[in-house]
Chains A and B, each alone.
Chain A
Amino acid sequence: MAAVEDLKIPLELAELAEELRRKSLLGNSSRLPLMNQLWQTFLPLLMPRFSAITPLAEALSNALYHLCLSPSARPEEWLLRLNRGLPDCQQPQTLLDLAEVCAWLAGQPERRERALEILQTLPDALLESVFLSSWSASALRAGLQASAWWHPEGLNQTPAAWDPNRAVVHVMGGFRGWGGPFLFPPRLYLASEQIWVQSGNEVWQILADVFGWKLKRSKYLPGHAVPAQALSDPDHPASGLFLAEGNGFQVLASLNSFKLQLFAPIHR
């Protein structure tokens, strides 16, 4: 792949490219190789389409930066979906709306609510092009709205006859020394139907849907939080496993493990 230094960058983007290069986000010494890909393969596609490209380049670079730093996100998938939808974006704002929806699909569940709002305004053709499926735009909107655990690209699933027994599993967490968030094995708590994690003095809230998960840092555990129940196994009374149910999913923690397993949905 050609170095960014070798690329012909339009004059209007030169200042921004230089800023990113200075911050080691672009070029040969980039900390985020995908940033080079965005600038080499995607941004050139915008030039013939839109007149004011600098604000778009800034916004998309920032979005990619956040996705690269988000542990559960899949920035490659974000770029892939964005590429798929680009031909149907007629306005710069449509492209930004698409970028926000794609960020949700690429593993940022905190964007679900906003993305669902945007879905209502995106052109049908654009929405259909984002997913590798045969669903119509209206079916996609209805299905994604109806369940946080329906994946349009899942095998033989329909929004109506979606199989609730098919649990989607995320594995999250990890020891901080190995790139995870936890210094100590995490403990689970439940408060107001939300699942919380405590590790040492640090606290997170778990957000999740079919596309990804997020450990949202919080200053404190809610005052009324109760510890997750220990799993009782008659053969192994001290199994050291704890299960929390809330917000439509289950999380399993082990006494000595830094990892958390997320099961969804809960069978009721």
Chain B
Amino acid sequence: MDPTLRSYQKVSKSPTNPHSLTDLRQSSVPDLFQGPAGSGLAPRAEHEVHGLPSGQSALGLAEKLRQAYFWIVNHAIISPYYDIEYHDGPRKSIEFGDQQLHLPSDQSYSSFVLLPLLNFAVRRKCLLIGGPGRGKTASAILMGVLAGYPVNDVRRAIQHGQPQMTIADLLGNPLPSHLIEAKNMDEIQIAWRKWLGMRVKIIDEYNRIPTRTQSALLTVMGDNYAEIFDQIYECPESAWFMTANAEEGGGTYQVIEALRDRIDIVVKTLHFSSRFLGELIPRVEKDIRPEEVVPPEIIFSEIEMDQLYQDVLKVGIPLPVQRRIEFFASQFEYCAPAGEQFEYKTKDTLRLSPLDARLVMAQQTDMDPLLALGQQTLNGISVRGLLTLLLFCKALAWFRGNPEVALEDVRQILPFVLHDKLIQNSEAAFFELPGHAVYRVDKISWLRRLFDLSCIAFDRLNRDHDDPVSRLSEAFALGLDGVTEPEVRLRLQEIEVLLESFSRQGGPLSAYLFEDAIKLKYLHQRYTNYLKWLQWKT
């Protein structure tokens, strides 16, 4: 084999993240025989436990995905941008005027390569956006090859968005002879398109698909089935990769909102760093296409893909991290001028009205722009958004070899998940503060800054140690069986006292207190109903 080609197919035998390898094993027992000397011997039980082909263990799957990551960044997609930064101890920062370059002190990652891989692992929908020729489609093709499909099959299965694309182009055609002979719809057989049955689905330039065809695509994306002439095709669980040349639906057709909402994670391409031109020369000289020389060691079988997803789900989210996500999510839905009744003071109410949300929100002038984070967005975070966030947090922690999600995992993944889900209110006072105008352009940094500000507020309120609403919720979660009438009255009183303390704080109500008040009203109502029942029983 040609030495250049051989170097392309080389996969590192060393552990890609030795520290995290140890961490994951701490949930069971660290492997005695793996370490600095060669590859060691894997203990027998590892292979037997999971029954995976080719002796692949569950731990090996995380390592295999990391190897895939490093192969892609080293050989396939030249993306020398370590924008997902992790630090182990102090980091070094170098200043360029008012800008800073951080040198991460722990293994850090390039989002453009890592996030599609995580999407591959959790089988969700990933949008790759950026200028032409930046490797969006190449990245998506690589994911198809990693799923075990021949590269030609992957290329043929790509759905290329174009203005003339019909539903038949996308899903398939009824067989003409059946159309003529059929007495009823059931007799019409459909020649379904092959891509529907694949575990990696690629839609290139999805914002060039006509609106009507987008609706058909929405059904496949949302409900995982295709329908033509009353015939149904059930698709397997699959990872979706969509590409778009321009953001904000700036393609030939406006992307329908429901379709945009189905996108779970957004990945931005970054430019090609000219210092890496030398890497391109062997590709030209030897006519090497990375997707054609993917090493077999990093290709995943169907069983492995299923196992991979199951392993991600097992990663835990510790309560302190969960609380901070809750607190962050509670910042965005409240909008005082949107409603008269307490429950309707939300951006959802505003959304259903014909008024311009920006104008209504601009009425709130007495809010601190650094504390009222909700002022910066035109909507709140949907349940789907939160589910996706939790899943990708788990995936990132798993990829790093950790049994639990760390706060930094949330901080790193959140901007990419909420990129298209939290709509920026660029007229908010926050963006007028010195140095904040850049956040109107750089949405990833803006969302990360939002999370940081939320964590600062969380710490300032000492929510880790002083959260009476959580305490009351936990008491309620223990159940009402055996709770006596005096105890119920005590709890009701406690809820009322707490609500009154909110009202005594003065000034405009904070978004997180709005969510707390809603929760307290809920608890109050549940206890009231229970009290009524207790009285009726006696």
Physical interaction between A and B: yes
**Does the CB pair A23–B29 fall under 8 Å?**
no
Stretch at the interface among B40-48, B176-184, B364-372, B477-485: B40-48
Q: How many residues of B contact A (CB 8 A)?
A: 23
Contact with A58, one of B23, B38, B320, B404 (Cβ below 8 angstroms): B38
A220→B405 CA distance, assembly (Å): 11
A59 at the interface (CB under 8 A from B): yes
Residue pair B37, A65 in contact (C-beta under 8 Å): yes
Contact of A20 among B36, B39, B40 (CB under 8 A): B36
Report the minimum CB–CB distance from B532 to chain A (whole Å).
Answer: 32
Q: A96-B41, A220-B318 are in contact. Are A23 and B26 (CB under 8 A)?
A: no
Mask: chain A, 210-236; 1 = CB below 8 Å from B; 0 = not: 000000110110010000000000000
The A interface, classified by DSSP as helix, strand, loop or mixed, is: helix
Query: Per-position contact with B for A25-63: 1 when CB-CB < 8 Å, else 0?
Result: 100000000000000000000000000001111111111
Asked if B229 lies at the interface with its beta carbon under 8 angstroms from chain A, I say no
- Which chain B residue lies CB-closest to A112? B29
Residue pair A62, B32 in contact (C-beta under 8 Å): yes
The answer for the CA separation of A57 and B35 in the assembled complex, in Å, is 12
Q: Is B33 part of the contact surface with A, judged by Cβ < 8 Å?
A: yes
Alpha-carbon distance between A58 and B38 when the two chains are bound, in angstroms: 6
- Would A220 and B320 count as touching, CB distance under 8 A? yes
Chain A residue at smallest Cβ distance from B320: A220
Inter-subunit contact B37/A111 (CB<8 Å): no
- Chain B, interface SS category: loop
Question: Contact at B39–A100, with CB atoms within 8 Å?
Answer: no
Q: In the bound complex, how far is the Cα of B54 from the Cα of A78, in angstroms?
A: 32
Contact of B37 among A20, A93, A220 (CB under 8 A): A20
Are A58 and B318 touching (Cβ within 8 A)? no
Number of interface residues of A (CB under 8 A): 31
| B108 in contact (CB, < 8 A) | no
- Separation of A55 and B45 alpha carbons in the complex (Å): 17
Q: Which of B41, B318, B404, B406 contacts A56 (CB 8 A)?
A: B41
Complex CA–CA separation, A32 to B29 (angstroms): 23
Are B33 and A65 in contact, with the CB atoms below 8 A? no
A56 — nearest CB in chain B belongs to which residue? B41
Bound CA–CA A241/B437 (angstroms):
56
Residues from chain A with a CB closer than 8 A to the CB of B43 are 96, 100
A23, A57, A62, A110 pick with most chain B CB within 10 angstroms: A62
Q: Which residue of A lies closest to B25 (CB)?
A: A110
Q: List 14 A-B contacts (CB under 8 A).
A: A16-B37, A19-B38, A57-B37, A58-B37, A59-B40, A59-B41, A62-B40, A66-B35, A93-B44, A111-B29, A216-B26, A219-B404, A223-B318, A223-B319
